């Protein structure tokens, strides 16, 4: 069975760091890769930024370089981080992209990659017994700046078996 690799974009890292839940990434995969372009996006505020500090302390996150962005990915006009996530995932069998941005997710799907968002990560963590419930963490993520439509929130809670 191939090792599944989670290739992570900035928004999930930022949001999970803000609520002190970065370790939830371990719910999926056995290797966690962050392209250098994503690291640069996060560190733009400086090394003393709490999110950058949290990410640096997570030594299990592997910083990876992307040699080049394939033209078929560049055509999507994604930001550097998203393009690097998709490009790196293309080079690996069984890679899962962790992207919240719609354009990045659409590009990854068009490239036939597995796609997961931060909310999907919560569902995986719940199914593995790493968290007792999705709703409290989802609320924290929204309070930390995650955009989630009411319809999407309802669907996620339904999939978690927590519908009201």
Read off the pLDDT of residues 90-130 as tens digits, 9 standing for 90 and up.
Answer: 999 889 999 999 999 999 999 999 999 999 999 999 998 99
Question: What pLDDT sits at residue 80?
Answer: 97
Q: What is the mean pLDDT of residues 65-70?
A: 96
58 within some domain: yes
| pLDDT at site 69 | 98
DSSP notation for the chain: -PPPEEEE-HHHHHHHHHTT-GGGGGGS-SEEEEEHHHHHHHHTT-TTSHHHHHHHH-TTEEEE--S---HHHHTT---HHHHHHHHHHHTSTTEEEE--SHHHHHHHHHTT-EEE-HHHHHHHHHHTTSSS-SHHHHHHHHHTT----HHHHHHHHHHTT---
Domain-embedded: residue 139: no
In a domain, 164, yes or no: no
Domain span at residue 26? 5-118
Per-residue pLDDT of 130-160, as tens digits, reads: 999 999 999 999 999 999 999 999 999 999 9
Domain membership flag for residue 67 = yes
Q: What is the pLDDT of residue 1?
A: 39
Domain assignment present for residue 161? The answer is no
Q: Answer whether residue 83 is part of any domain.
A: yes
Does any domain span residue 163?
A: no
Residue-wise pLDDT for 12-56, tens only, equals 999 999 999 999 998 888 899 999 999 999 988 666 678 888 888
> For residue 30, what is the domain's CATH number?
3.40.50.1010
State mean pLDDT over 82-91: 97
Residue 98 placed within a domain: yes
* Total domains, the chain: 1
């Amino acid at each position: 069975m191939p090792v599944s690799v989670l290739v992570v974009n900035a928004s999930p890292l930022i949001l999970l760091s803000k609520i002190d839940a970065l370790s939830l990434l371990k719910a999926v995969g056995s290797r966690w890769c962050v392209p250098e372009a994503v690291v640069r996006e996060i560190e733009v505020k400086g090394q003393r930024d709490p999110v950058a500090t949290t990410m640096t302390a997570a030594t299990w996150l592997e910083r990876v370089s992307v040699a080049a962005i394939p033209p078929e990915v560049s055509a999507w006009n994604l930001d550097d981080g998203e393009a690097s996530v998709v490009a790196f995932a293309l080079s690996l069998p069984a890679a899962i992209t962790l992207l919240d941005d719609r354009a990045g997710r659409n590009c990854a799907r068009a490239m036939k990659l597995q796609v997961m968002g931060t909310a999907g990560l919560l569902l995986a963590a719940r199914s593995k017994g790493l968290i007792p419930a999705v709703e409290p963490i989802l609320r924290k993520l929204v309070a930390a700046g995650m955009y989630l439509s009411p319809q999407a929130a309802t669907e996620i809670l339904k999939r978690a078996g927590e519908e009201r």
